[in-house]
Amino acid sequence: MSKYVSAYASPLGQIVIAAEEDSLVGLCFSDKAVLVPQEASAVISQTEKWLDAYFDGEDPIRNISCLAKGTLFQETVWQILMTIPYGSTMSYQEIADRTCSLLGKKRMSAQAVGQAVSKNPILILIPCHRVLGKGGLLKGYSGGMERQRSLLQLESHI
């Protein structure tokens, strides 16, 4: 299996992009000055173009194959994240309710959803920055609260 890694200079800091074969498997902010070997792959190039458009304030079409590996619960939560439209948000509790419906559960805590959201390996494309706490509060974004605020402002939400 071929693996590729690259670094992308975003307005919010360095983003490390990871791909396997023809799928994106990782997209995360790196606050450390990491020297990442720039490896060419179609999915890395496609992701960089998508990020260029996104940071230019566009709502680019998600046509990148993403392979986020996790538990059934985590993957269900991440699929729900993918349904949150650009410029919109959803609460942890709303996601818990949808997850219950999809998994045939009666109840689920928002905290359990928060744990799954925090394990999202593909930030921005799987838009966990669009998830807010009770009362619309920014809460626990793995890329950092300032980045979450900036991403939501970019999408003209707040």
Active-site residue list? 128
β-strand partners of 24:
19, 66
CA distances from 157 to 37, 48, 87 (A): 35, 23, 5
**Angle of helix 110-118 versus helix 92-103 axis, rounded to 10:** 90
Using alpha carbons only, give the angle 102, 104, 110 rounded to the nearest 5 degrees: 70
The rounded distance, in Å, linking the Cα atoms of 63 and 52 is 14
- Return the beta strands (E) in the chain as ranges: 3-10, 13-20, 23-29, 90-91, 131-132
The rounded distance, in Å, linking the Cα atoms of 35 and 100 is 42
Chain centre distance of CA 151: 11
